[in-house]
Amino acid sequence: MAQPSRKSSAAAGISRRGWLMAGLAIPLFRARAASDLGATYDGDNLYPVAPNLHFLTDKVLNRLRDSADTQAFVSQLTLFYEDGGAPVRQKRDRFVVSYSIWDENFTVAIPGSAVRSAGGLSAAKAEAWCLENAAISASGLAPDKPFRMRFELRSVQPRDLSRVMGDLGISLTSMIEIFSRKAGADDPHWTLETAWLRLLDLPRLSGRSARRE
Amino acid sequence: MNYIWVGCLLVASCPLFAGSQDSEFNVNTRYTVENILVAGAGWTTDLVAAGRDNHISSGIRRDLLALIGQKLNPAALDDLAGRLRKEFHARTVDHHVMRGKTPDTVEVAFDIKLRPARFDVSVPKFAYSSSQGWNGAGEATATVNHSSFTAGLVSDGDDLLERYTGVEARYENSYLGTDKVRFKFEFDSFHDLWNQQTTAGDSAAIYRTRENFEPVLTLAVARPLTLSFGMSFERMQDEGPAARIESAYAFIASVRFHRRLEDDDDLVDFDAGYDLRAGMRSLGSDYAYNRHRFEFRYTWTRGNQVVIDDAVGGVITGQAPLYDKFALGNTNILRGWNKYELDPLGGNRVLSNSVEYRYRAFQAFFDSGAIWDGGEAVVMRNSAGIGLREGPFSVAVAFPLKGGRIDPVFMVSMNY
């Protein structure tokens, strides 16, 4: 029985070894994505740089176009001196993205006491604006001490909890359905990490501020 | 104290059901709504072009029309989608926003998707009262087109003089040739527990189990008026050593009237109902009686303020089984009083009125009521209370107004 199977695989041009390599390659692509984070430094703040990170996907865009609603993302930027060690510094931000159905461009805002926002952006510029505004203060970091930076981003789906209150009172079926959704299935998330860095080695950018309006 | 925390958690969780809070950062809120379309199974309503429309209720239609000419408000769209879903018992109601015919305007389309078959497990009601303990029900419902089959468990010591615990099963058809005719058949089987005061009052009247078969036909005579009639075949097994079976076979009928009046600022709802249960020996019943119950409810809403007046009256002639006797002093009527202190065997006459004021989640109420048997003196009792209410959830403290000590009763309830 094994012989015909090998023949059919060979005929298709994919060997067992090929399947094995392909299987191994899938996690490697994730690892490659994880090393795609860089950093820039303006003397005060560290900025994550991830030109290959695209979180305004077609799915997000279609939803924004179709509903004319907003999409929220939550980011967390962490600095740490040791792998697996306690964070040296951490900063969380929340970005609200909307898409103008007449102008066909993005507006991004960071809610809070001092709202920051930018409008008329392409998808790439909107993504870059979010990363730029996720900057973290570098004050107090030793210039020659190696550190790593991790950038985590997660889209926040509006949980449709109104469905829980059905016509028959509290719908346990809807409640189970909502709370049993696999994490990440509807809330895509990205985690990127830099190699070991030192402030000394980072090129200094001038005239840049994380507090742009 | 634990129950207070349960209540606080329930009320605190209610904002979770609210819509998105990010609307102020939405670039599309600068556009004006030009038109709204609502599409259901085989029909589409264009709110600008259409005159009168029978698919959507007047309240939702009014609120949809109010959005036209206004800036786009996604939170309002979410709210209306939820109301449409509830009104049509739909699986989902999606809304799509498209460019309007003129620049900087948008058109909104609601898409109602019904589900031909569904299965749902729900908790239709629950209540906790510090004087009468926990009550609740759980149900599983399978719906295929217009037919639904429901099976559930219930334990309720609030409504009646007895605590009935057991199973409920029913079949409902909401479309018998027309949506104006509905049919329901219900079967209940309960085990009954009794308060000591009731047992001491009349041990011969109590029963250990109760079964009910109840077919009912409902006619929607006109939009605000429905008429229901059917039969109730109840069989009770006595508590005594002989465990004798007693029957209470009754003709049942009810009339419901609902009328809504609305203008720019005010919304007024009138609800009136009359129920009749007539136990007849000609049907083979051991109990011959007539039970008449009237209910009138007036609700006035202006902005965040709501005023409700709820009046109930009832008369029983003949000898009714205990489950059909009137009781006052539960989580609904004359809150704060203990029904077993007022009348452990129930009354043949009842009269009650409740006035309630709500402002946002806050509620304050004043209940009055009397329960008595024919020929007895009528004694009015009053209670007052405050609480928090969000949708069907309520947390309240009620104080019976009587001489001597203050004896507050804490209540948490949903759909009671």
Which domains, and CATH codes, for chain B?
31-113 (3.10.20.310), 117-123+130-379 (2.40.160.50)
- CA distance linking residue B82 with residue A187, whole number of Å: 22
* Cβ–Cβ gap B392/A159 under 8 Å: no
Q: What is the mean pLDDT of residues B260-264?
A: 78
Q: Looking at chain B from residue 323 to 342, which residues have their Cβ under 8 Å from any Cβ of chain A?
A: none
B117 shares contact with chain A (CB less than 8 Å): no
Among A70, A99, A116, A179, the strongest candidate for a mutation testing the B interface, having the largest count of B CBs within 10 A, is A70
Confidence of residue A2 (pLDDT cuts 50, 70, 90): very low
Q: Which of A66, A99, A167 sits opposite B89 (nearest CB)?
A: A167
* Cβ–Cβ gap A168/B139 under 8 Å: yes
- CA distance linking residue B91 with residue B104, whole number of Å: 32
Cβ contacts of A130 within 8 Å, gap of 6 or more: A55, A73, A75, A95, A108
Strand partners, A76: A92, A152
Confidence of residue B192 (pLDDT cuts 50, 70, 90): very high
Chain B partners within 8 Å of A174 (Cβ): 120
Give per-residue pLDDT as tens, B57-75. 777 888 899 999 999 998 8
CB atoms within 10 A of CB A202: 17
Q: What is the mean pLDDT of residues B389-408?
A: 86
- The C-alpha of B391 sits at a distance from chain A's nearest C-alpha, in angstroms, of 9
B141 shares contact with chain A (CB less than 8 Å): yes
Please count the residue pairs, one from chain A and one from chain B, whose beta carbons lie less than 8 angstroms apart. 98
3-class DSSP assignment, residue B209 = strand
Query: B155 vs B241, which has greater pLDDT?
Result: B155
Q: Is the pLDDT at A7 greater than 50, yes or no?
A: no
Confidence of residue B327 (pLDDT cuts 50, 70, 90): very high
- Could you give the percent of chain B with pLDDT greater than 70? 93
Cβ contacts of B23 within 8 Å, gap of 6 or more: A70, B29, B73, B74, B75
- CA distance linking residue A202 with residue A43, whole number of Å: 10
Q: Which of B26, B89, B123 sits opposite A69 (nearest CB)?
A: B26
- The C-alpha of B176 sits at a distance from chain A's nearest C-alpha, in angstroms, of 21
Query: B35 vs A175, which has greater pLDDT?
Result: B35
* Cβ–Cβ gap B123/A169 under 8 Å: yes
Q: Which of B25, B78, B106 sits opposite A98 (nearest CB)?
A: B25
Question: What local confidence, expressed as pLDDT, does residue B85 receive?
Answer: 85
Give per-residue pLDDT as tens, A109-149. 998 777 889 999 999 999 999 999 999 999 888 889 999 99
Question: What local confidence, expressed as pLDDT, does residue A183 receive?
Answer: 57
Chain A partners within 8 Å of B95 (Cβ): 67
Question: What local confidence, expressed as pLDDT, does residue B57 receive?
Answer: 78
- CA distance linking residue B303 with residue A63, whole number of Å: 33
Q: Is the pLDDT at B246 greater than 90, yes or no?
A: yes
Give per-residue pLDDT as tens, B299-321. 999 988 999 999 999 999 999 99
Chain A partners within 8 Å of B12 (Cβ): none
Task: Write out the E strands in B130-180.
Answer: 133-144, 147-156, 163-173
Question: What local confidence, expressed as pLDDT, does residue A155 receive?
Answer: 84
DSSP annotation string for B101-115: SSTTEEEEEEEEE--
Range with the largest mean pLDDT of A77-86, A105-114, B37-46, B95-104: B95-104
- Could you give the percent of chain B with pLDDT greater than 90? 61
Confidence of residue A28 (pLDDT cuts 50, 70, 90): very low
Q: Is the pLDDT at A3 greater than 60, yes or no?
A: no
pLDDT, mean over chain B:
88
* Cβ–Cβ gap A164/B17 under 8 Å: yes
Give per-residue pLDDT as tens, B265-309. 888 999 999 999 999 999 999 999 999 999 999 999 998 899 999
Residue A53's closest CA among A69, A35, A78? A35
* Cβ–Cβ gap A167/B392 under 8 Å: no
3-class DSSP assignment, residue B94 = strand
Question: What local confidence, expressed as pLDDT, does residue B379 receive?
Answer: 94
Question: What local confidence, expressed as pLDDT, does residue B326 receive?
Answer: 96
Chain B partners within 8 Å of A161 (Cβ): 16-17
- The C-alpha of A135 sits at a distance from chain B's nearest C-alpha, in angstroms, of 21
Range with the largest mean pLDDT of A105-109, B25-29, B261-265: A105-109
Question: What local confidence, expressed as pLDDT, does residue B8 receive?
Answer: 44
Interface of A with B (CB under 8 A): 66-70, 72, 96, 98-103, 107, 109, 111, 115, 117, 119, 158-159, 161-174
Q: Is the pLDDT at B208 greater than 80, yes or no?
A: yes
Q: Is the pLDDT at B6 greater than 50, yes or no?
A: no
Question: What local confidence, expressed as pLDDT, does residue A23 receive?
Answer: 53
Say if CB B381 and CB B403 are below 8 A apart. Answer: no
Cβ contacts of B31 within 8 Å, gap of 6 or more: A68, A101, A102, B71, B72, B100, B104, B105, B106
Question: What local confidence, expressed as pLDDT, does residue B226 receive?
Answer: 93
- Could you give the percent of chain A with pLDDT greater than 90? 31
- The C-alpha of A162 sits at a distance from chain B's nearest C-alpha, in angstroms, of 5
* Cβ–Cβ gap A70/B74 under 8 Å: yes
B120 shares contact with chain A (CB less than 8 Å): yes
Query: A88 vs B12, which has greater pLDDT?
Result: A88
pTM of the model: 0.64
B378 shares contact with chain A (CB less than 8 Å): no
- The C-alpha of A177 sits at a distance from chain B's nearest C-alpha, in angstroms, of 11
Per-residue burial over A135-159, b = 16 or more CB atoms within 10 Å of its CB, e = otherwise = bbebeebeeeeebbbbbebbbeeee
Chain A partners within 8 Å of B104 (Cβ): 102
Q: Which of B22, B86, B99 sits opposite A70 (nearest CB)?
A: B22
Residue B298 token pair: 């007036």
* Complete edge-to-edge strand list for the sheet that includes strand A87-99: A116-121, A106-110, A87-99, A70-80, A148-156, A189-193
- The C-alpha of B22 sits at a distance from chain A's nearest C-alpha, in angstroms, of 7
Give per-residue pLDDT as tens, A143-171. 899 999 999 998 876 655 556 665 556 77
Chain A partners within 8 Å of B86 (Cβ): 167
Phi–psi pair at A102, nearest 5 degrees: -95, -45
Say if CB B30 and CB B102 are below 8 A apart. Answer: no
* Cβ–Cβ gap A174/B82 under 8 Å: no
Q: Are strands B32-40 and B105-113 parallel, antiparallel or unpaired?
A: parallel
Cβ contacts of B113 within 8 Å, gap of 6 or more: B90, B91, B92, B93, B94
Give per-residue pLDDT as tens, B108-167. 999 998 877 778 888 888 999 888 889 999 999 998 878 999 999 999 999 899 999 999
Question: What local confidence, expressed as pLDDT, does residue B375 receive?
Answer: 87
- CA distance linking residue B27 with residue A96, whole number of Å: 10
Give per-residue pLDDT as tens, B166-190. 999 999 998 888 778 999 999 999 9
Cβ burial of B70 (10 Å; 0-12, 13-18, 19+) is exposed
DSSP annotation string for B4-64: HHHHHHHHHHGGGGS--S-GGG-GGGGSEEEEEEEEETTEEEETTT-SS-SSS-HHHHHHH
Could you tell me how many residues make up chain A?
213
Q: Which of B27, B121, B415 sits opposite A107 (nearest CB)?
A: B27
**Residue ranges per domain, chain A?**
35-201
Q: Which of A66, A107, A109 sits opposite B96 (nearest CB)?
A: A66
3-class DSSP assignment, residue A3 = helix
Confidence of residue B52 (pLDDT cuts 50, 70, 90): low
Among A209-213, B177-181, B358-362, B404-408, name the one with the lowest average pLDDT. A209-213
Give per-residue pLDDT as tens, A173-202. 776 766 666 655 566 788 999 999 999 888
Q: What is the mean pLDDT of residues B40-44?
A: 81
